[in-house]
Structure 1
């Protein structure tokens, strides 16, 4: 026996010489016989056989999945999350919720639901005879995938911790509270139940409060049979729930824990929630309810210029609450007189409000009271003012927040799909060559910019005279223009010249009103290829099929083609304006007009071809005229400064100004900006524009 013991203590068997670095036990090679004396599995030591997390723990924080519960598993995989915190509008609807939901709430839920088809959404939004429930079968109005979770057909792959939001069914929440409904891995955080996550060296205490915060409903329980308040498909917070949350937080308080306050409404906008988070001694607050395209991360110190400003926000919320409390006080107090537990909860909640300042002016934030004031007047917790951090989440369809926890440190990673600015780039399509970025600087230095990719158009005079460069087209030369002395009197234009710059001199000679110069016929402006398009401009279009689905069958047959116009925009072309206008008239109202920004749905407007980008003559200063002499006085329309847009207004007021959706591009800034004050000086020194109409002359200037 002693010899056998020495085999395992002093030496290592051959099968243990090379250990698997990811396991404390040696494994036999496939098909190998066990070593003599190894009878079955060896007993596990205390640290063997345990799954040990070596990397950071990732907590995914999302908001408003709106019943699309499959997305929880998909988002968890994408974010590599170990668990999920959800901040409301989870989709607590079952198969019986549709009959209880109010018409107005149903329209709101359907408008933003990822489960209801687009044709059904359009039908609901367009209105019709009778309520929505009578116009559409229940199969076309799926409110949530929660029944699939309850039946077990759909499973949550990682733990999910959530509060309820503003659009939920109170009956469903009561069934979860009574354990009638049970879903593995789904944990509901509320005023009566908190959760503790011991992960990454941090004890994370989750405290939650669901529902919308509506001041006049703080004392209304609605259809709720317990302390949960709600009715007709909506839910809100009551003052008793806040009092119970304070009681729960006090009972489980542990100074070694890190506290996270999870709400649907945002503490940034609801002063009473802000004060409640201070009372709960929260280190973080995570909320939703603002439906932004980006998540926000802030503390009160970062968004308030002073403590007085912060106090003012709390004081306004306190005044709003007191207006309601004074109105219902006579009814509430007798109603709970026989219920001691509810009396205690009400006292807890009222104590939160009592601590809120009544005015913006308050005590010394660094301790002690201001002379002549009570020590309790307007005092706020400065540590919370600077140290409590708040996260407001984008909807789950647009972004998320990840808390990465490792070695006692909580890091953050925020992701957002963000706003779609592709419609601005679409305005540059089909508007001719674009000026290089260096055009402005080079023109102001007296150097002509590089030619655009398309060659400039040169027009021939009808009389058969020499070609000339239109004043609004950039010449395709890249050599510096020679510095020409300022002339006194315009010179006659020669009929022919080998000088390549001569056409430009011809074009600019008439600008200064020389009476003895014969002007050639003006050349027409280059045509914009988009001028011939008769169509409708569709923004936020994901595919041609989605665009076609907007139109009726009659109008689909009249579509000539659908052309891509930018990243997510289309132009639907018709043969005649009558066909286009008729199709526009038959579109649903929500596709033509929108009361609020929603970049997930197509928006249709009449296509207005953007004006061709116009450029000033070489030198970038537009057409300059002398302030002297009889040319201007004679009413010459070319005298004086003219903007690139061809009008007399400034650049910001001309045709080149930035248009709306589907409109023209931003105006060109090819060097004419800020030149108005110099327009009375007859041209700039060293610029090869029309301020120097002729070669140098020794003749004296006109008086």
Structure 2
């Protein structure tokens, strides 16, 4: 392994030569940061080793131990939005950022989240709620040793973090055992399973107009008011660090918060770092994804176009700030060097999409840049789902890196048409607070949680819900273009919280008993229907009801219904055209024939359990709710953003009407 020169960096104001949490780390800041030695942070272990890759734990740090046990992982790699907040971060965070963090925090109670989502801009969240009701992170409990990490965790920081907490962790003022920060000055080397896995990381959001803004950061990282972003000097320093520790025998993993698939600048940076893999987050999908550029770009010109667009955006900013930046770094040779590294990286990017020579070199047309063929075809990218929805495991053994990807995914149970027996709605439950945290507000002083349609899908029963008394034509078909983050709940469906808060008297609808039956079509007489039922099941038939041109055979229980359907002759199950056909009867929800298997309060699309940034329309498409059937997908469906499709977890088609619905696909 190549050795690194032992030289100090005058541009770094704090010594980061020790791993975070290591014994003997300096307590007094030194004038420079010693470069990372090749053997620092190395872990040597034999046999099959599993490395768990996750994203966005959002301060729920105890879940890291649970996920490591569940995935049987020896190490964790985390890609940002870790929850770097301490007891004083609430005072520093901006109101807009606090609203976003609180809305999706797994540590806040459902009641507080609903209140924040419904509250106007004034008064502020900090004035409305006490500190113990707004826990931003469990990090303070790990700092005071109340909890500990069971396996080593390697992480970058995300877009919503406190820059002052990061600086204290990097300087050694804050220490958490088994927590290691991957940044532009520190790479990590895991020697496991016959593979030397080099982790190179870059934290923060990539925002072009902030690349030259350090914010409140006092060292080389940038941030302020509860958010953090990447600077161009960080990229230059990462290139410098990667070149100093380069070893051709290592496998390089580029860990970022933003996705190189969407950020051309990061894509070019990963090529410059000679990365074999990139692991990122920030898209908040329900599934993880894996790809290389060759697999998702139809032509090399298409790939060039993505890089050229990113370069054009950068050039617009650079030409604006160039006259200020160059004099600012003129007196610092180290910063000049880092800036030169970063500008050289951008200079290699193509400025036009069309090119002659396919893979760079002097034969390429002007402006086509230098495209690395090996990176284009061999560098593999992994984008992770949020930790609450899925993970990636790198299984390392014998010099081979295998992958396992797991996801909670979307709920398509509503398509089966087999509704669960009706159960009354359960009282709303709330997320538990950290047991060692500040005492929470006594239950007697908390506002009562009312039952209304704005409850989360996990707390709603499958039966009909009480809805405001309003005309049928006023039922919304999807989120409006002007809906805010707080008005969007699961999978892009419009929330009805504001309607529930109006002084209207809800119309209570009594839930109907579920119907267990068989749906019979293409017959004209009841005797024909009974003749198609097996002899052992005829005694179980309660009644045969004609509904229009169809018949419904009623049974007392779902078991009788299932057994009778299994005994039906195969030619009656699989028949087509005008031949007699029998399938499982599907109940429709109350409210009309165009709402199969959907919530009675909205007629648009599918919904999946939980809510994240993907449902807010951030970076995705927002549906316009065209009033088509909720169960259809296609030309009349409602295009969604990153939330995807599915019925909320625990929710099934609502039994209400006895009007027959078309049989499910598997029944045919």
Q: TM-score, normalised to structure 2's length?
A: 0.63
Are the aligned partners of 2:160 and 2:228 in contact in 1 as well (CA < 8 Å)? yes
Aligned residue for 2:261?
268
* Distance of 2:154 and 2:463 partners within structure 1: 45
Once residues 188 and 350 of structure 1 are traced to their aligned partners in structure 2, the CA distance between those partners, rounded to angstroms, is 26
> Which residue does the alignment assign to 1:365?
358
Shift of the 570–252 alpha-carbon distance from structure 1 to 2, 3 Å rule, reads same
1:202 and 2:195 correspond: yes
Residues 323-363 of structure 1 show CA distances to partners (whole Å, capped at 9, x for unaligned) of 11111111111111111111111110011110000111123
Q: Secondary structure at the match of 1:325?
A: helix
| Correspondence for 1:150 among 117, 133, 143 | 143
Give the CA deviation at 1:546.
Answer: 1.8
Classify the secondary structure of the residue corresponding to 1:364: coil
What is the number of residues matched between the two proteins?
A: 467
Match of 1:417 in 2: 408
* Shift of residue 596, structure 1, vs aligned partner: 6.5
Runs of at least 5 residues in structure 1 that lack an aligned partner in the other structure: 1-50, 431-529, 531-536, 620-637, 643-653, 672-703
1:406 alignment partner in structure 2: 397
Equivalent residue for 2:109? Answer: 117
Partner of 1:668: 662
Is it true that 1:544 corresponds to 2:429 in the alignment?
no
Corresponding residue of 1:211: 204
Structure 1 position 387 matched with structure 2 position 378: yes
Q: Kindly indicate whether the alpha-carbon contact (under 8 Å) linking 1:427 and 1:665 is maintained by their aligned counterparts in 2.
A: no
Aligned partners of 2:44 and 2:190 also within 8 Å:
no
- Indicate the structure whose relative CO is greater, using CA pairs within 8 Å and at least 6 residues apart: 2
Kept in 2, the 8 Å contact 1:220–1:238? The answer is yes
**SS where residue 253 of structure 1 aligns?**
coil
Q: Are 1:130 and 2:22 matched, yes or no? A: no
Cα distance in 2 for partners of 1:58, 1:307 equals 35
Distance 1:425 1:244 in 2: 54
**What RMSD in Å do the two structures reach over aligned CA positions?**
4.2
Q: Where does residue 282 of structure 1 map in the other structure?
A: 275
* Residues 223-302 of structure 1 aligned to structure 2 (within 5 Å): 223-302=216-295
8 Å contact from structure 2 (residues 417, 664) kept in 1: no
Alpha-carbon distance between aligned partners in 2 of 1:367 and 1:591, rounded to the nearest angstrom: 44
Partners in 2 of 1:123 and 1:429 — Cα distance?
32
Q: 1:360 to 1:266 in 2, by over 3 A?
A: same
The partner residue of 2:522 within 617, 641, 644 is 617
1:429/1:566 contact within 8 Å kept? no
Shift of 1:419: 1.3
Task: State whether residues 49 and 193 of structure 2, in contact with CA within 8 Å, keep that contact through their aligned partners in structure 1.
Answer: yes
Q: In the alignment, is the contact (CA less than 8 A) between 1:261 and 1:286 conserved in 2?
A: yes
For residue 570 of structure 1, the aligned residue among 462, 482, 494 is 462
User: TM-score under structure 1 normalisation?
Assistant: 0.60
Q: Residue 661 of structure 1: CA displacement?
A: 3.6
1:80 is matched with which residue? 72
The aligned counterpart of 1:377 is 368
Residue of structure 1 equivalent to 2:299:
306
Gaps of at least 5 residues in structure 2 are 1-42, 432-446, 476-482, 501-506, 525-548, 550-576, 579-591, 604-629, 633-660
Aligned to 1:64: 56
Within the alignment, does 1:100 sit opposite 2:92 as a pair?
A: yes
Question: For the Cα contact (< 8 Å) 1:276–1:352, is it kept in 2?
Answer: yes
- Answer whether contact 1:426 1:566 (CA < 8 A) is retained: no
Distance 1:201 1:572 in 2: 57
Q: Report if the CA contact (8 A) 2:45-2:192 is conserved.
A: no
Shift, 1:420, TM fit: 2.0
Question: Structure 2 CA distance, aligned partners of 1:370 and 1:141?
Answer: 59
> Which aligned runs of 4 or more in structure 1 are off by greater than 4 angstroms?
51-54, 366-371, 423-430, 552-556, 565-569, 576-581, 589-593, 598-616, 654-660, 663-667
8 Å CA contact 2:240, 2:341 repeated in 1: yes
Larger Rg: 1
Distance 1:77 1:547 in 2: 26
Q: 1:297 and 1:243, CA in 2 relative to 1: closer, same or farther beyond 3 A? A: same
SS at match of 1:98: helix
Partner residue of 1:330 out of 308, 311, 323:
323
Judged with a 3 Å threshold, the aligned counterparts in structure 2 of structure 1 residues 656 and 107 are, in CA distance, closer, same or farther, namely closer
> How is 1:493-512 mapped onto 2 (pairs within 5 angstroms)?
none
